Structure 1
């Protein structure tokens, strides 16, 4: 079975649900590759024979981001900063003390803007909901920033990748599935770069705190 034939057997609804679920779980505070799933799904939508709609990909990504962040907010509000101690033991690479310290400083300084722009940054994306709740940010303000950030991130990413996929299909009509592999690899590369920069930022903040 060819890759193209295999892709055509995937129901579009399954793609939408997968995007919403993974993005939602990541937004809840569990480190999953939400951005990579969104990028891959958006690229699939550029293949018109697959009947996957980029508009529904954007809707699914936006809904997952908003709902996941809101649930994360409620969890953070309920358990406070003690929650991050538990998460740190379970996910030390993502919720270590230095990462929490960096995220807390960013949220304390920037408030709603941290929630909005945090959607575009890997570290802050998984912290946004729980940390905003733990720090006692008023929910209406959080919801506005969360909704606008989630919609801008999901819609912007989907439209950009969809457009690139359409262009790639014109040039690689026989091998357009390669674009999916390339997109995943690029997404992984970007994630690794962001993680490395975040780790250096966390180390610099930790050093400042120790001084």
Structure 2
């Protein structure tokens, strides 16, 4: 059963809880499909299954709390934490992945926390890495709160309104409109992810966490 099918099969209250927990644990540093859960829930809100406001609130809360917990863990564990995670989960926390994320932090400082919310790699590593690099907590907190609200609330709002517009539009046109909309969405997503990956590759560094980040 796919995530969207499972979400449609559970009560609305559990959808809100699922959104908050999955995004929260992903932000904590556990590789989970937070973005997929958020988008699926936002689509359900366009269908009237759940309230888009509560989806955005739960997603934002999960993102902010999860990143804060990840920051605390990273600050306490430091470089040793990423070395252990790299040995156990090389596909997510290997030296190359952490090196890319670290280079992004070194180049953009506190902005990496905000922008990282929109990039899969940094969405998992931003909190723990900010803590391990000793980023001042107040700077991290501001970027974390703003990034969480903009990402979660913005994604929910965009998907919700696109869903409403698409439903009205498709009533007046044929199934061809749906195909065009899907292809446009896929193309836009691939383009943005490719641009984000290129930005990370430009500042790629070898190795793992070295020391405090310059913010």
Deviation, 1:126, is 0.7
SS at match of 1:120: coil
Query: Secondary structure at 1:75's aligned position in 2?
Result: helix
Structure 1 residue 202: deviation in Å? 8.3
Corresponding residue of 1:147: 145
Are 1:112 and 2:118 matched, yes or no? no
Shift of 1:117: 0.6
* Superposed CA offset, 1:80-110 (max 9, x none): 0111111112221221101111111211232
- 1:46 is matched with 46
Give unpaired runs (5+ residues) of structure 1: 207-211
Residues 37-91 of structure 1: CA deviation (Å, up to 9, x unaligned): 100000000012x2x0001010011000000000000100111011111111222
Matches within 5 A, 1:59-78: 59-78=57-76
Which moved further from structure 2: 5-14 or 75-84? 5-14
Structure-2 change in CA distance of 1:121 and 1:143 (3 Å): same
Are residues 6 and 201 of structure 1, via their aligned partners in 2, closer, same or farther at CA, if it must alter by over 3 Å?
closer
Distance across 2 between alignment mates of 1:90 and 1:7: 31
Question: How far did residue 125 of structure 1 move?
Answer: 0.8
Paired with 1:43 and 1:111, the residues of 2 have a C-alpha distance of 34
1:209: which partner in 2? none
The partner residue of 1:80 within 78, 81, 86 is 78
Structure 1 length normalisation: TM-score?
0.79
Counterpart in the other structure of 1:27:
27
- Aligned residue for 1:122? 120
Over 3 Å counting, the alpha-carbon distance change for 1:97 and 1:167 in structure 2 is same
SS at match of 2:53: helix
Structure 1 residue 92 and structure 2 residue 90: aligned? yes
C-alpha distance in structure 2 between counterparts of 1:157 and 1:122, whole Å: 14
Kindly state the Cα deviation for residue 139 of structure 1 after the two structures are TM-superposed: 1.0
Q: Which sits farther off after the overlay, 164-173 or 75-84? A: 164-173
What is the CA–CA distance in structure 2 between the aligned matches of 1:11 and 1:146, rounded to whole Å? Answer: 30
Say yes or no: does 1:36 pair with 2:52: no
Is residue 56 from structure 1 mapped to residue 54 from structure 2 by the alignment?
yes
Structure 2 unaligned segments of length 5 or more: list them: 207-215
